[in-house]
Structure formats: C-alpha cells, structure tokens
Amino acid sequence: MFNLASYLPYLVNRIGVRLAGAFGKELAAYGITLPMWRVLAALRQRGGQRVGRLAEATSIEVSTLSRLLAGMERRGLVRRERASEDARSVLVELTQAGARLIQRIIPQALHYEDVALRDFDRADAEALKDMLVRVYDNIGALEEEGLEKARRSA
Amino acid sequence: MFNLASYLPYLVNRIGVRLAGAFGKELAAYGITLPMWRVLAALRQRGGQRVGRLAEATSIEVSTLSRLLAGMERRGLVRRERASEDARSVLVELTQAGARLIQRIIPQALHYEDVALRDFDRADAEALKDMLVRVYDNIGALEEEGLEKARRSA
DNA sequence: TATTGTTATACTCTATAACTATA
DNA sequence: TATAGTTATAGAGTATAACAATA
C-alpha cells in the first residue's frame, strides 16, 4: 500500500541529501556553501538581476537570500545597488572576483552531473531532466490551486 | 557551456524545496515535521530497527536522528530500548499512537505523489523512479571512490 | 580499541513578522 | 496602501567532536 523506497518525494530527497553532502564538501575547499554556489551560477547565467528574481532562480527564500548576499558582498563576490528604474528593488551583480570563482567551480559542478548520470546515454539523461521539470511544474500548480482554494474560502 | 536550468542537481534541489514546502505545511497540521514523517514511514514499513539502520533508511544524520527520536519519544510516537542481541544498539519501534498517526497521513502523502506525477502515465512514472534510483546509486559510488582515494593517499 | 548512540556547540536555513524605502 | 528588501527572532537541521555504554 505504501512503500517509502519507491515514493517519489523520498527518492528526490535522498538524492538531494547525497549530492549536497558530496558537492558541498568540495565547495568548502573554495570557501563557499551550496546556496552561494547557486547564487553565483544564477548570476553568471542570467547576469545582474533583482533580489526577488534571484530568489526564484535559486529557490532560496528572500529573507535567507538577503543575509546570504550580505555575506557574499563582504567577501567581495557580489555587488548590490538600488535599481535605477525602480528604487525599491536592489540589483545584484557578480564582481570580477565572483565571476572568476564561479568560472573555476563550473568544471567541478559538471563533473558531479557526469557522475550522477554516468550510466545514462544522452537521450535518457534528457528524458530524465524533462520529467523533472514537469514534476516541478506539477507541484507548483498544486500550490497555486491551494492558494486559490484558500482565497475562495477566505 | 553551463546552464543552471538544465543542471541535474539544481532540478532535484528545487523539487525538494517545493515538495518540502507544500507537504511540510500539511504535516504541521498533524504536529509533526517532514523528517518525523520519514521516520514514521520507515518504521511502519520495515518494522522496529536500530538507530543506525533508521538513519540510512531516512537519509538523516545519526546525531540529528537521535535528537529527533528523543522528541518523538516524548510525544509518545516511538519507543526506544537497548537491543537484546547487542546492547550497544538501540531498537526503535512505533507506539500504537505513532502507528495510528502514520496511517492517517499516508493518504495525504500519496496525494502529493499523484499531483507531482499528474501528467505521467504509469510506465513513465516507473521509468522516472528507476532513473532516480540509478542516480542515487551513482552518487553513492562516487562517494565510496572518493573515500578509497582518501584512504590510498593516507 | 572499535562500534553504537547520545550530547554539546556553533553554524546555517526557514518561517514569521516587524521594519525601511520606495511607489 | 502596496511592493521590494532588510533585519530580528525562534525553531529545526548539519557538522564536528567529545562522551558513554558496550563489544
């Protein structure tokens, strides 16, 4: 009736734990944490962006992100400044040091993906990723439905 | 060269964050946390077991698990006693209250899986789970290789 | 000595809400 | 009033190491 070992949330969680443990230790050698790595990667890819957008891109809570950015700014990895168009927002950008650091780490990160997918051919790897995107979207849709239900009953 | 949005560890992590957020809130209504739910589910499925084995089954650190179990014991959900065969180990079991609670929660848990896989047919869902198991094993193999490398160089 | 758990400490992430600054 | 971020606080998880009990 219920089997933990084939329960999707559990399967996803244990991979997350294992990856975070392994890659996190490697990142420690560079003096950064896993959330910091995600911030650097998101900034590298999509360029400077507002804090809110960065929170979505990295799946990190805004308040958590704010303190994380403060630490990264102290370490000279990112720069924050009020946006000119809408002075309520804050624009976050990579510094040169941050850009250099993420560039050095990317090969390590790709190595982890290679290992995780070592016995997958390219088509299967793509299929897996596509399915994971669908799963993510499905859960997001659930949340929105939940919110609407809450709104209707309020 | 590097795309966060198609990077496997990121795809897995964001699903984990989203699921933990949604299901965790539901569990709060029952007065338990997500790690507690995993402990209850593991105990229900494989019966009473040692703390170490429970740690593996749930992907929770032993020291974290120990304190978690202390709280669950205070709440009357589990029972701990020294194992008779090897008195170094501690056997953890569900109490009747714990068994009743997990039984009530299982339908909710299954609902989350249904939503996450809402647009998957049965074969695709199975394929996805099989791939996730392989990914988990691959990363585990990496860790062991890393340990061996460390051993050899030590 | 090695193994199984427990406990202690310091650190990080989360949830929540109060607060600041804009709009 | 509403939105974007920041800050504060309390709670929970993690890493590490010291410790207790047993083998």
Q: What are the tens digits of pLDDT across the range A8-20? A: 999 999 999 889 8
Q: What is the DSSP string of A46-84?
A: H-SEEHHHHHHHHT--HHHHHHHHHHHHHTTSEEEEE-S
Nearest nucleotide to A52 (CA to C1') is D4
**pLDDT for B146:** 61
Structure tokens at B98: 């714990």
Question: Are A9 and B109 inside 8 Å of each other by CB?
Answer: yes
Mean of pLDDT values over B139-151: 68
Q: Are A48 and A93 in contact (CB under 8 A)?
A: yes
Residue of A nearest to B40 (CA): A4
Residue B43 C-alpha, separation from nearest chain A C-alpha, in angstroms: 10
Structure tokens at B47: 């019966």
Please give the single-letter amino acid code of residue B55. Answer: A
CA distance A105 to A120: 23
B87 touches strand D (CB under 7 A): yes
pTM: 0.90
Structure tokens at B87: 């008195």
Lowest-pLDDT range of A23-27, B52-56, B59-63, B123-127:
A23-27
User: How many beta-carbon pairs below 8 A join chains A and B?
Assistant: 175
For all residues of chain A together, what is the average pLDDT?
Answer: 90
Mean of pLDDT values over B5-33: 90
Tens-digit pLDDT profile for residues A37-56:
999 999 999 999 999 999 99
A21-26: long-range contacts at Cβ-Cβ below 8 A with a sequence spacing of 24 or more? A21/B143, A22/A112, A22/B139, A22/B142, A22/B143, A22/B146, A23/A108, A23/A109, A23/A112, A23/B9, A26/A108
A26: left (phi over 0), alpha (psi -120 to 50) or beta: alpha
pLDDT exceeds cutoff 90 at B97:
yes
Please name which of B14, B102, B21 lies closest in space to residue A20, comparing C-alpha atoms: B14
Question: Are B12 and A15 inside 8 Å of each other by CB?
Answer: yes
Please name which of A9, A118, A29 lies closest in space to residue B116, comparing C-alpha atoms: A9
Radius of gyration of chain A (CA): 18
Please give the single-letter amino acid code of residue B71. Answer: G
Selecting from A38, A45, A135 the residue whose C-beta is nearest the C-beta of B116 gives A135
**Chain C bases under 7 Å from protein CB?**
3-8, 12-17, 21-23
Edge-to-edge order in the sheet of strand B78-82 = B49-50, B90-94, B78-82
Q: Considering only CA atoms, name the residue closest to the C1' of nucleotide D21.
A: B88
**pLDDT for A146:** 62
